[in-house]
Amino acid sequence: MVEFAHTEYFWFLLLVPFMLVVFLTARFYRKRAIRKFGDPGLMEFLMPLASGRRPALKFALVLFSMVFLILAMAGPRFGSRLEEVKREGVEIIIALDVSNSMMAEDILPNRLERSKMAVSRLAGSLRNDRIGLVVFAGDAYVQVPVTSDYAAFRMILDNVSTDIVPVQGTAIGRAIDLAVRSFTPESTASRVLIIISDGEDHEDDPVNAAATAREKGITIHTIGMGRPEGAPIPAGEGRQGRFMTDSEGNTVISRFDEATLRGIASAGEGIFVRAGSSGTGLEMIMDEIEKMEKEAFEELQYTEFNERFQYMAFIALFLLFIDFLILERKNKWLNSLKLFKTR
């Protein structure tokens, strides 16, 4: 496995074709200038020490030495190993509401997309904590088990949509029960569940589920997505300006249920934050998480360990040394040396 620590230096490789074009252009005009003086065969006789190949060879040596020098600056790393890394952090599970009501656009671009952007930023800012993802609507599913692979977490998060859960509705209680079972069983780390939803629960009793989770040592924070006055739910892609309606043809208004989310946060001894146009409030919750007791845990991860820039630098210097030894003109002493004489 090969990795480069400073890939920005690869931009210097654009100089290679530029230098090649300059050299070939200069060589073309040099040959044309010589032809103006006389016949090329005669000019070769008059300038016996002039070499047509050596300048090209010297240029090739300089060009390749520059390439290897750029590769050395980019910091190549070869090989990888699996090593045990010690971290101190907490376990965080995000329970994200993906019901149709999360498509309401009272928070732009809509409740779900704003939630995903905030969670993605959160995952990008983590260093030692572990994070998992549960999505829920009428039922709940583990989308990402608790992990320290933040890149994989964000990649999966990007693909989350309202179509990912086949049963519609809002079963926050089931999401809490599933999240409780998804934390690492043997871990003694502080455990946090962050529920992001509009709070419209029509399925179960989330407050009792939150109280049960708290008895197991899990702190629950909630983030309310939406405005109290509510908003219509878009009917779907390709149907601009159309909204969901009930059986009587009335437009369905998805209203933000603050009381339910406050009750869940209170039962889980966490805090409730209402998202607004300026942000979702995840920063406030992360401030609370930072105050929690961290657990030292060990995990296996692949670590790049062999720095090999010195090999590239040595090749570059070696090529420059060869270039230094080769003269532009033929050596008259070597040129007069005849190892195989003909009669």
Q: What is the pLDDT of residue 337?
A: 45
- pTM of the full predicted structure? 0.61
* CA distance linking residue 191 with residue 83, whole number of Å: 25
Q: What is the pLDDT of residue 126?
A: 86
Q: Are residues 130 and 238 in the same domain?
A: yes
Characterize the bridge pairing of strands 295-307 and 76-89. antiparallel
Q: Are residues 185 and 210 in the same domain?
A: yes
Q: What is the pLDDT of residue 262?
A: 94
Q: What is the pLDDT of residue 238?
A: 42
Q: Are residues 182 and 61 in the same domain?
A: no
Exposed/middle/buried for 126, CB within 10 Å: 0-12, 13-18, 19+?
A: middle
Q: What is the pLDDT of residue 154?
A: 94
Q: Are residues 130 and 249 in the same domain?
A: yes
Q: Are residues 219 and 323 in the same domain?
A: no
Determine how many CB atoms are found less than 10 A away from the CB of residue 115. 26
Q: Are residues 125 and 195 in the same domain?
A: yes
Q: Are residues 275 and 222 in the same domain?
A: yes
Q: What is the pLDDT of residue 283?
A: 85
Q: What is the pLDDT of residue 223?
A: 94
Q: What is the pLDDT of residue 334?
A: 44
Structural domain harbouring 229: 84-299
**Encoded amino acid at 343, one letter:** R
- DSSP secondary structure code for residue 234 in this structure: B
User: Average pLDDT per run of 10 along the chain, which is 343 residues long?
Assistant: 78 90 84 65 55 77 91 78 66 94 88 92 87 94 92 94 88 94 82 90 82 94 88 67 72 83 95 80 86 66 66 90 74 48 51
- Phi, psi angle pair for 253, to nearest 5°: -105, 120
Q: Is 343 inside any structural domain?
A: no
Q: Are residues 30 and 96 in the same domain?
A: no
* Residue 10 token pair: 């690869």
Exposed/middle/buried for 313, CB within 10 Å: 0-12, 13-18, 19+?
A: middle
Q: Are residues 68 and 103 in the same domain?
A: no
Residues 6+ apart with CB under 8 A from 98: 112, 135, 136, 137, 160, 161, 162, 164, 165
* CA distance linking residue 200 with residue 256, whole number of Å: 7
Q: Are residues 88 and 197 in the same domain?
A: yes
* Residue 136 token pair: 């829920």
Q: How many domains does the chain fold into?
A: 2
Q: Are residues 203 and 326 in the same domain?
A: no
Q: Are residues 204 and 256 in the same domain?
A: yes
Element (H, E) at 78: strand 76-89
Element (H, E) at 274: strand 272-274
